[in-house]
């Protein structure tokens, strides 16, 4: 069994695989103040919840967009599981040609989700990832990662708006029945959920035009399920796309 850790700005997603089978997936809050030992304790507690022994693991991989946690979590995993943990970085085999201006700038999450999409869906493929940031990336018909777009995340942008406008209060995301809201909360839901859905539809249309052909579209990320019912674009939702990509990358390096 191997452990895949996707370290994001808000959450750390942990997924255990036995071969290609996903055994469990769980989320921890990203906290850069925690030490190696504290994360090791968190991991031990998590394995107890799923009744899994650390001895069952033969390896692990970390993909991180929080540099200060990459080594901390890697060491915590090695302490907890007693196996080697590799970090997705330059020099790691991915099977993905990153055809952008500076491949070293490409985030580990973007590489992993592109690898996952490339290995499971018809090419070309577009990936929509909605988390702290909203990211859209493209893999062309030859399997090259050719770039993408980074936008504010839905929660990130609405928090910024509410924090800057005295008369706006926090609200829960939900699919509005109408685009024209009749009260402040419905207006905020319309602007966030339907606004982001329209933005994603428009961006995907632009991506396909630049690709010069139709493309598969895959959605992932913690916030994407809020907008899925409102999207006009047909797409597949895969929750474990990033950790599946990490699993594939681990296998290529072992």
**φ, ψ (nearest 5 deg) of residue 143:** 85, 15
Asked if 109 is an active-site residue, the reply is yes
Catalytic-labelled residue, pool 6, 109, 129, 140: 109
Strands 236-237, 216-220: pairing is parallel
Catalytic residues, which ones?
109
């Amino acid at each position: 069994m191997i452990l895949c850790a996707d370290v994001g700005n808000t959450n750390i997603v942990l997924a255990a695989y036995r071969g290609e089978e996903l055994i469990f997936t769980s989320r921890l809050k990203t906290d850069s103040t925690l030490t190696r030992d504290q994360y090791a304790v968190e991991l031990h507690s998590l394995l107890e919840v799923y009744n899994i022994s650390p001895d069952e693991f033969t390896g692990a991989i970390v993909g991180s967009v929080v540099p200060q946690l990459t080594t901390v979590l890697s060491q915590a995993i090695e302490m907890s599981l007693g196996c080697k943990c590799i970090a997705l970085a330059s020099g790691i085999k991915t099977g993905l040609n990153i055809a952008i201006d500076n491949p070293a700038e490409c985030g580990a999450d973007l590489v992993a989700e592109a690898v996952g999409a490339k290995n499971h869906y018809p090419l070309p493929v577009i990936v929509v990832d909605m988390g702290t940031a909203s990211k859209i990336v493209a893999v062309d018909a030859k399997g090259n990662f050719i770039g993408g777009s980074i936008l504010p995340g839905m929660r990130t942008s609405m928090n910024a708006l509410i924090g800057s406008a005295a008369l706006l209060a926090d609200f829960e995301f939900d699919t509005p029945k109408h685009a024209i809201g009749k009260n402040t909360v419905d207006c905020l839901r319309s602007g966030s959920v339907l606004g982001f859905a329209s933005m994603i539809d428009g961006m995907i249309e632009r991506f396909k035009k630049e690709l010069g052909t139709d493309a598969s579209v895959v959605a992932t990320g913690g916030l994407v399920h809020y907008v899925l019912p409102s999207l006009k674009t047909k797409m597949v939702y895969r929750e474990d796309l990033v950790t599946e990509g990490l699993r594939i990358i681990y296998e290529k390096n072992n």
